[in-house]
């Protein structure tokens, strides 16, 4: 079965530290990749997405992600986190062009001021 794994369940960083959140998926065909953020008590918001082309994609709020096809990975990065980045982050994969979007378990990021 297709699956999405986020290996870091809970990450604690100090402000200005660099961030990298891992995401791996198990689907072998064409995939479309997404990262979402959920601030406390709110709904999910799209951070960035990858469909094709340049494997390094930039999103909102200074986030970026790199698609490495050979590693089935789509890791999220940010050079310098802020306290306001405290949230839960979800990686999601659409297998083929189906509309069937599978989410990882999520990573809770806590940024200490």
Partner 1 sequence: EAQVTQNPRYLITVTGKKLTVTCSQNMNHEYMSWYRQDPGLGLRQIYYSMNVEVTDKGDVPEGYKVSRKEKRNFPLILESPSPNQTSLYFCASSSPRARGGIDGYTFGSGTRLTVV
Which residue's CB is nearer to partner 1, number 5 or number 17? 5
The CB-of-46 to partner 1 minimum distance in angstroms stands at 5
For residue 7, the 8-state DSSP code is -
Which residue's CB is nearer to partner 1, number 14 or number 42? 42
The CB-of-54 to partner 1 minimum distance in angstroms stands at 17
Task: Report the distance separating Cα 41 and Cα 52, nearest Å.
Answer: 33
Which has the closest alpha carbon to 67: 82, 78, 51? Answer: 51
Q: Which residues bind partner 1 (CB under 8 A)?
A: 6, 32, 34, 42-46, 49, 51, 90, 92, 94, 96-106
Q: Dihedral of CA 30/32/33/39: which sign?
A: negative
């Amino acid at each position: 079965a297709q699956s999405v794994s986020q290996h870091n369940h809970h990450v604690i960083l100090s402000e200005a530290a660099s961030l990298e959140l891992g995401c791996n998926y198990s689907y072998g065909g064409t995939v479309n990749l997404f990262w979402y953020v959920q601030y406390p008590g709110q709904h999910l918001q799209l951070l960035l997405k990858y469909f094709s082309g340049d494997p390094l994609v930039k999103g909102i709020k200074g986030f970026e992600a790199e698609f490495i096809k050979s590693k089935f990975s789509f890791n999220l990065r940010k050079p310098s986190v802020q306290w306001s980045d405290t949230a839960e982050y979800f990686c999601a994969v659409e297998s083929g062009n189906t509309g069937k979007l599978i989410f990882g378990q999520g990573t809770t990021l806590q940024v200490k001021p």
